[in-house]
Chain A
Amino acid sequence: MPLTAMTDKKNEIHDDEFRVIGKPGVTTAPESGKWNLVWIILAIVAAIGILLVVFWPKTKAESQETAVSATQFDLEPLGVTNDRTFTERIDTLVGTVQLAVYLPHNATPVLTADVPSGSDIILAARAADVRADNGKINEAFVCEGRALAFGMSKKGYCAILGGEVTIGVAADSPLFEEAVESGGYFFRQYPLVDNGTLVENEPKNKTMRRAICSRAGQIFIAVSETDESFHDFAQALVEFGVENAIYLTGGHASGGWWVGPDGTSRPFDPKARTGIYENETYILWK
């Protein structure tokens, strides 16, 4: 076959495409074709949606509520049932984001405003951000009922009241006062997921991301095994079924560890530095 005749249909391949030579049927369709189809389907769905809004508004509202409820209750709980105290690690791939999910079993969460120690800790991760210049905690922070900081610029919050974790998004949450009055815990961070919806944030850099998440009544920490943007990490959490999530201080300069069923303590990131600030805040389970 002359060389000129062999051009270059075969070179029309995307970098994300894969095909088996000798098996013409085994291939992944080019993304553009797939997206064209997706856009057509989205356009049809949007048109139907507009018609429903215009002609049948009550039905739309009712059906939305039903859909949300069905999603929430269809999710299977993660992990094993066990009466021992340990952290279970579950690895999952969501799109191209590899997530490690750390699910504490039979342990109670608390916050600390220093680097924690103790053999009873089975899961620990840095929580609120600390200023690099003066070592002070950036945002509202309550530890055992003591309010240590009061900032409110980050809208995501996590409250621990009577051992129960509540994650949410609000500019001003009464749970701060409840934490102070009841000897509980409270901190603020970037919101990532609010009632199953991705929340966009300003920082655009990529690094190892961490979050505290609620999903089907379970609370866990999710860590990206790869460097991700806020957006891609939050999107992966949404696709994983997370209902609410806020960021935990992450990056490769953050400590944190987990104790598996064999009793061995392992860091999230073996290369992480710890103790670099005067105050480090941690959420931990013991």
Chain B
Amino acid sequence: MGKFIVISKGTEMLRIPPERLVYISADGNYSDVHTLDGRPQMVSYQLGQLEDMISDQLGDEGSSFIRLGRGYIVNMEYVHLIDISQKRLVLSDCECFYQELEPSREVLVKLKAYLDATYSDD
């Protein structure tokens, strides 16, 4: 069986193949988990707690996930467009999934610099 991110609490369990998890957005004490099927699931964990779970469960493989400020955990594989001037981050699989986020401009500057460095290393 492939690896899953398992988010379990009380009577509920959510299992997600990591490569199909696009992003997680914070909603107070809750979080919305967005997957490629376009059906967000609310879970009763804070973003920081989910960050811990991803790190614990995936180890080094969790490095495709990034925490962007207080608002988001994003799967870098789906970063499609960074537009610092318009403060836009578009996540897309260039097929079915398309979502625009609005993190802070500063965090977009840092994300772009990180990805630039990553691809120039390649």
Contacts and interface: CB of A to CB of B under 8 A. Distances in A.
A98 B84 contact: yes
Interface residues of B, number: 38
Contacts of B86: 226
Interface string A1-19: 1010011111111111111
A22 B70 contact: no
B63 A20 contact: yes
Contact of A22 (B9, B59, B111): B59
A8 B48 contact: yes
A93 B109 contact: yes
A14 B52 contact: no
Contact of A11 (B48, B58, B114): B48
Contacts of A17: 67, 69, 107, 110
Contact of B66 (A6, A19, A93): A19
A16 B62 CA distance: 21
A96 interface: yes
A14 B104 CA distance: 10
A225 interface: yes
Contact of B84 (A3, A14, A28, A93): A93
Contacts of A28: 110
A80 interface: no
Given A8-B46, A16-B69, A28-B110, 18 more contacts: A8-B48, A8-B49, A10-B48, A11-B46, A14-B69, A15-B103, A17-B67, A18-B114, A21-B51, A21-B54, A21-B65, A21-B66, A21-B67, A96-B84, A96-B106, A96-B109, A98-B85, A226-B87
